Structure 1
């Protein structure tokens, strides 16, 4: 589809960037100044241009939004879970963009206690996110974080749940949800974020009713390559600070929650190459560790003896073909979330009899995960399940009788019938022989002769696995004849830890070539053709999109790149940009020439050439804290000057949002409607 409208042009202002004696010329470096009115004008002009190009499908976009919205049950409620004396749940009201967070004491027939009405809290804000909350041991206080900008800087507040009063304490720039109460219901711990790196780096102790300026610094992370977390462990005995160097090492600091003014102590000191996570029960720590175990194994150690690894006893041995991903400890049972051949399996072990079994899910492609299980003294496991054809479901599972009870399945309004859809799991052979899983879904009446359009999605970074889950919005594509495929490429962790290691650092190009090889396999297998193949990815998956269209621009009809990380070299050289230092173990540090040269070989922005590119929709958010808006803006500006085709090149900047897009359950659908309208329009589908 050609375009006769005149796109906006960013004025080139060349900047020389020299590293290791090599000079790059960046004509759009200045776009990183969001305070410059010329930059804002350019972004607005791009938004206007997008609306002009897509004007013929304006009503279709609105219809898609309405269609997707109408599948959602507006008045809905989650399955309650019990924690202490209360049952906790969330519900949505008709017309409500945000959840109402509630609880009931003692039984589900008790009176409802509204903890937070996020609709009321969001009033007057273009963006709102309640980043999590923590309840004190006496059940009377809730610590919660609010973000009204979408920079993931949360302001910590405290609410008295008995009176409804929100206390005057207001602590800005905290990590949302990383809060922990001490057992005295008076001391609260939180993480403060560095405003240059946007990394959490300090843990403070706040005493209720005092001036936050007097809060006590209890821990500071000295290495800005580590990410931090803070939480109260399931046993409630310990407060844990977790420092994690992405894919490299871990360290826990622990504090007895009944001694809030005591110092935190190190559980086991950080070692390069050693990652671990903890669960605590009675007098024992369970340790999921990669010590001498690439795919992790499970160890146990008695409290106070953890400093010597000789005291760690093996509970579950390492297996080269199984990745140990989750664990949940009960009084009489141990539940493990394991990943084998790309699929999650739940393994139940009776700790008294040592009998064990796996849950059977009976579908070729699915996702399952351990849910909220706050009680140790139970034989019932709460877990979640979803597949490409099965809406999200919550189950209770009796680990002794093996009886499975469906508590709730996501209701899809309209004429949805899961038997009208087919899911498959196939393997594509990568150019080096690796077998890459691909999960596929389509309507059963969709032709398999290559004539169907297909949207291929992937992520492929940080060891983050993209599991084949249900999406009611995706039905808008499937019902119009599209096939949807998820390529489980290297860089994720679907096939175990080696799958991740082979898709990062100096092996990152495997991620991109895997995606291309999956595309070619789908074409050869008769799922689609080049003139109807589309690709989509976001964030690091947006980097994937940029690299793929530089490698094989001829292979795709159109591409959607959401909040794409495309200016890899410049960003990773600039430690003043948020999150850069924490990424060195994912991409490499370009201050070392070997990594500089390798990054430069695939960085999408640096490798734009004078050639034909597919139709391209690029989306970003002005306040994005993860991938700064100027990366996609610069990329689009450079593509405009060099590409030789007449295909669509569109940039949409959400001027009020950040990395996750719009807040609110319905407003976010407008972003999806834009993506889908772009893709469908290119196939001539406009209703």
Structure 2
């Protein structure tokens, strides 16, 4: 059998000097997606991947069919009621995209189809519709479409009475928009065409040419982004300006959209706040007064500046306040304590209480609660062995109704067949780091189990225990799956995030490594059977851990990995860079430059053994540019000293989120699973 040789990227040294330090980037030439040589190289890598994994093709196809067989193809969302209509999202058998529909007043009314995305997606390799926003008179809907996968949407408007889509096309937007109460004024967010930063809020008048749209607000600070929305009370249109550490809002009465916006509270570096409107007050979720885990304050709606804010729910050291939902008769707070969700319900008049949850590890969250005048709270609940349920909870009677539990087709699934655990590893500095595990109950702890550890660990994004029908394909083949709740997320509160960013970023990496060492010590697995997975900033984590402890893992899955940290953070023309300084630091400052250089995966590739690796990316990715993983793989090929496999799989049609159709996305999962099973010599 002829050995398949991987492509070798040519070396074109490019010298960079910063703070007296010289870097030579041999693969910088891959940064040009318009260069035919770059496209040719990516295609060569794709061809190598296909040929080298040809023997797993039957397994990939079998996995795809298996993954697909568990999904209810003709599925329907739980309807929600808003402004006289029931809204429904449904999927039809054999089709990739959703159908958005509504019914007037009652679920027995005739269905009115808003959008059939299967029709709209025809002729496009990628399609995504987002930002549906319906005018208060129920006649108009604005929506955004992206057919490239760079999260750059074109907004259009549809007449829901006639079905006509207006010729208006608003380019370079986030896709989101909001109608004022006059039903003819639409506010939307436009992006910078090069950096893709959301930096402008415009006002469009129905039936007017886009060229007459009025610029309402421009965010000059390139570390901030902007958005626009309407309060749940429908009284105010709000413009949000936000960076990692600081927020600022402007508002105008929705009934007078041509009046000037006024500032709610001007930005103060480090002050974060958001608010909900109820009757004559604003309720503010904020970190004011060093409230690291946030508190809730109240202020009259005509006195919004910070000196008028009064404590409403005080700060607690052990509890992170994440969100608030306000109803006519109830006040609901989403909290996180010791890494687990809690939902606190306070009648405006009466005793407060918590929703009861008894599991050791779970995820609970409020969902679509748009209706203001209701005593029903809708929330979701799931765990790693419990399918997602949507539940209506009567806040007055405390009765709950399970509206829908995610179906797992195939007839083989029973949650009684799986064990969930929450275990803790001791980190290098003595901190206890939690992990959520799931595995079949017939698995024995004898060090031979294949084990997949997942983590993200950045931006304060918490990775909560979640159910996955796809994951069953690994569990039923003997895998243990775990989420490491490493620092850099907010899993254990705001300080957990602060201790995993900027000049403490390496805690994220060492936490993950310590979690992996712990499960090995506890005989769940061994280095020959241990695998790690992460995407985007979690891909940075993957890149860091294989430089630090390459022999700890048999295989790595790195999805759209952010691995070229220095080059990206020094290039302020790349989407997201300037807004990321508060997360990673600004490398124009030598202290941050030196620290980034000490962990940047691409810059720290060295001559050593590396584990087997499957790396995926998308040519049109706007979050992590394709060239980061492409350069990383090219450098790894040059330096690694062992014969492990190394694959770069580039989707030439997709971006950061991968394929757009629900079944196409399963093909990507099947590739990843086949990679793992092949390494474990599991052929079926």
Contact 2:201 2:226 in 1 (8 A): no
How far, CA to CA, are the matches of 2:624 and 2:471 in structure 1?
Answer: 25
Question: What is the match of residue 372 of structure 1?
Answer: 368
How far, CA to CA, are the matches of 1:360 and 1:472 in structure 2?
Answer: 26
Question: What is the match of residue 443 of structure 2?
Answer: 446
How far, CA to CA, are the matches of 1:381 and 1:33 in structure 2?
Answer: 50
Question: What is the match of residue 464 of structure 2?
Answer: 467
Q: Tell me the CA shift for residue 273 of structure 1.
A: 0.9
How far, CA to CA, are the matches of 2:233 and 2:438 in structure 1?
Answer: 41
Aligned counterpart for 2:250 among listed residues 243, 249, 253: 253
Alignment of 1:338-487 (within 5 A): 338-353=335-350, 355-414=351-410, 415-487=412-484
How far, CA to CA, are the matches of 2:80 and 2:112 in structure 1?
Answer: 15
SS of 2:284's partner is strand
> Residues 308 and 661 from structure 1, CA distance in 2 versus in 1: closer, same or farther, beyond 3 angstroms?
closer
Question: What is the match of residue 557 of structure 2?
Answer: 560
Per-residue CA deviations over 1:129-179 (Å, capped at 9, x if unaligned) read: 0022100010010000000000000000000111110001001110122x1
Question: What is the match of residue 302 of structure 1?
Answer: 300
Extract unaligned runs of 5+ from structure 2: none
Q: Tell me the CA shift for residue 535 of structure 1.
A: 0.1
Question: What is the match of residue 171 of structure 2?
Answer: 172
Per-residue CA deviations over 1:50-94 (Å, capped at 9, x if unaligned) read: 111111110100110110001000001000011110011100001
Alignment of 1:86-105 (within 5 A): 86-105=85-104
How far, CA to CA, are the matches of 2:591 and 2:119 in structure 1?
Answer: 53
Question: What is the match of residue 236 of structure 1?
Answer: 234
Q: Tell me the CA shift for residue 5 of structure 1.
A: 2.0
Q: Tell me the CA shift for residue 547 of structure 1.
A: 0.1
TM-score (norm 1): 0.98
How far, CA to CA, are the matches of 2:3 and 2:557 in structure 1?
Answer: 21
Q: Tell me the CA shift for residue 3 of structure 1.
A: 11
Q: Tell me the CA shift for residue 302 of structure 1.
A: 1.0
1:632 aligned onto 2:632: no
Q: Tell me the CA shift for residue 284 of structure 1.
A: 1.1
1:680 aligned onto 2:684: no
Question: What is the match of residue 197 of structure 1?
Answer: 195
Contact 1:225 1:584 in 2 (8 A): yes
How far, CA to CA, are the matches of 2:509 and 2:22 in structure 1?
Answer: 26
How far, CA to CA, are the matches of 1:313 and 1:594 in structure 2?
Answer: 39
SS of 1:426's partner is strand
Question: What is the match of residue 584 of structure 2?
Answer: 587
Question: What is the match of residue 647 of structure 1?
Answer: 644
> Residues 15 and 395 from structure 1, CA distance in 2 versus in 1: closer, same or farther, beyond 3 angstroms?
same
Q: Tell me the CA shift for residue 255 of structure 1.
A: 1.2
Contact 2:225 2:242 in 1 (8 A): yes
How far, CA to CA, are the matches of 2:475 and 2:614 in structure 1?
Answer: 20
Contact 2:201 2:227 in 1 (8 A): no
Per-residue CA deviations over 1:564-603 (Å, capped at 9, x if unaligned) read: 0000001100111111000000000000000000000000
Q: Tell me the CA shift for residue 308 of structure 1.
A: 4.4
**Of 278-287 and 511-520, the range deviating more from structure 2:** 278-287
How far, CA to CA, are the matches of 1:233 and 1:390 in structure 2?
Answer: 34
How far, CA to CA, are the matches of 2:2 and 2:389 in structure 1?
Answer: 44
Question: What is the match of residue 12 of structure 1?
Answer: 11
Contact 1:563 1:627 in 2 (8 A): yes
Number of residue pairs matched by the alignment: 682
1:317 aligned onto 2:314: yes
SS of 2:434's partner is strand
Question: What is the match of residue 144 of structure 1?
Answer: 143
Question: What is the match of residue 183 of structure 2?
Answer: 185
CA RMSD of aligned residues (A): 1.0
Per-residue CA deviations over 1:412-447 (Å, capped at 9, x if unaligned) read: 101111111111111111010111110000111112
Contact 1:135 1:181 in 2 (8 A): yes
Contact 2:129 2:145 in 1 (8 A): yes
How far, CA to CA, are the matches of 1:636 and 1:614 in structure 2?
Answer: 13
Alignment of 1:18-33 (within 5 A): 18-33=17-32
Contact 1:3 1:647 in 2 (8 A): no
How far, CA to CA, are the matches of 2:305 and 2:578 in structure 1?
Answer: 29
1:596 aligned onto 2:565: no
Q: Tell me the CA shift for residue 4 of structure 1.
A: 4.0
Contact 2:462 2:489 in 1 (8 A): yes
How far, CA to CA, are the matches of 2:570 and 2:309 in structure 1?
Answer: 41
**Of 2-11 and 579-588, the range deviating more from structure 2:** 2-11
How far, CA to CA, are the matches of 1:632 and 1:404 in structure 2?
Answer: 47
Contact 1:78 1:91 in 2 (8 A): yes
Contact 2:99 2:116 in 1 (8 A): yes
Per-residue CA deviations over 1:96-142 (Å, capped at 9, x if unaligned) read: 10110011110111110111111111111000000221000100100
Contact 1:3 1:648 in 2 (8 A): no
Per-residue CA deviations over 1:498-538 (Å, capped at 9, x if unaligned) read: 00000000000000000000000011112111100000000
SS of 2:265's partner is coil
Per-residue CA deviations over 1:261-310 (Å, capped at 9, x if unaligned) read: 1111110111011000111111111100100211000011111111242x
Contact 1:77 1:89 in 2 (8 A): yes
Q: Tell me the CA shift for residue 350 of structure 1.
A: 1.6
How far, CA to CA, are the matches of 1:515 and 1:115 in structure 2?
Answer: 45
Contact 1:395 1:408 in 2 (8 A): yes
How far, CA to CA, are the matches of 1:103 and 1:281 in structure 2?
Answer: 28
Contact 1:392 1:409 in 2 (8 A): yes
Extract unaligned runs of 5+ from structure 1: none
